[in-house]
Amino acid sequence: MRRKLVAPLWRSALSRRGNATAATPRLPLTGIRVLDISRVLAGPYCAQILGDLGAEVIKIEHPTRGDDTRAWGPPFAPYKDGRGGEGESAYYLSVNRNKRSVAVSFKEKEGAKLIQTLAAKADIIVENYLPGTLEKYGLDYNTLAKTNPRLIYASITGYGQTGPYSNRAGFDVMVEAEMGLMHITGPRDGPPVKVGVAVTDLTTGLYAVNSILAAVIERSHSGQGQALDVCLSDCQVATLANMAQSVLVTGKRDGGRYGTSHPSVVPYRAFRTKDGDILIGGANDRLFGVLCKCLGQEEWADDERFSTNSARVANRDALEQMIEDITSSKLSKEWLDIFEGTGLAYAKINDIKDTLEHSHVVARDMIKEIKHPACGQLKVLNSPVKYSRTQPSIRTPPPLLGEHTDEVLRDVLGLDPTEIKRLRENKAVGG
């Protein structure tokens, strides 16, 4: 029975969008259509990954403002085609490639109807509005599933569809603070610090992708879609991982912030050098002995204060200061040469520019150059996973606001130019 369901579902999707060719090889999600009705980071990041994997992603944006992050700058990639404005924001560019932008207002009755019609032809919806918001416009899961029971509908929110905080707007920094991450991030004797990127948004986007792909596989067996409730608070609690498990095991409060140190392993942190910082980790007794030899202090390995990890944790402050007294005497490059091939965990701490120019990053093809219709040549991050056959790719640059409105209304919904013009005059669509 299951085999009979799988092939027709895929053939149906592919017949709507066209089969892959030698010039455009089929990617893992070729034939899957996604409506991205989300803004800012977690939702767009999720939809971008689906696009990288080959899905056709249609980004629904406000007709005049577009995605909030279009205005989040500087920095902006400047326009080079003579149009006015500051350009495309780096923030927006980071999470919106491999999408087509349709400028449509769901607050206009005709605009909502257009999105409903697109949803009837979609496999997946990604949205991140407060619970109940889209229901007012007939764009909630229960309404759309009546006409498209195969629809997979991922709702990404701050606090989920249920619970006492469900109607509360959720932002990454709020959830980092409230759900434990900020408390364990920062210097040992300093204030709590947020992570340098919006990590809770990003991990939530990743969890959403994972859930969507699982639902796609399940649908190939059942023929049915489903609603997915993905929220920042749940995902942040889940990614506390071993830190949360330690509290669950002991029943005690966590140990607070450790800076770059590891709460359970010593030494395992950043140490000053003559010209910067280097991360060093001796994760077990053998590697600690290796580190002692590299530092010219082999006797430390037999010192009862440091001979076991438990002893090193108990004498953390003394040992870490002793190590830094030595590391600060040489340049980072000198230490990298000394540690090379030893099996130690070690790395120079680089800023982002040095990271992007790192020889290994370049060798792994993590930076791509693409042509943007208004900004010209742009460098962007590449998809990180390497596939042996169906490699994800950057097929299209992040779109201009409403760049594909006419194209999608014509090719997907079958509207003629007169009807599209009327919708634009009625402010149901822009672009």
Q: Which residues pair with 345 in a beta bridge?
A: 281
Structure tokens at 360: 């290994």
Q: Give backbone dihedrals phi and psi of 229, rounded to 5 degrees, phi first.
A: -105, 100
Active site residue 285: no
The tokens 């689906």 sit on which residue?
A: 50
Residue 289, number of CB atoms within 10 A of its CB: 16
Q: Furthest-apart CA pair in the chain: how many Å?
A: 85
Q: Of the listed 81, 201, 285, 351, which one is catalytic?
A: 201
Q: In terms of Cα–Cα distance, which of 130, 143, 158, 117 is closest to 33?
A: 117
d(CA 380, CA 377): 10
DSSP 107-120: TSHHHHHHHHHHHH
Element holding 191 (H helix, E strand)? none
Collect all residues with Cβ–Cβ distance below 8 Å to 189 and sequence separation of at least 6: none
How many of the other CB atoms lie within 10 Å of CB of 331?
Answer: 13
User: In 223-274, which ranges are continuous DSSP H helix?
Assistant: 232-238, 241-250
DSSP state of 225: -
Side chain identity at residue 221, one-letter code: H
Q: Of 195, 192, 196, 201, which is closest to residue 171 (Cα–Cα)?
A: 201
Distance, CA of 184 to CA of 264 (rounded, Å)? 13
Active-site positions read 201
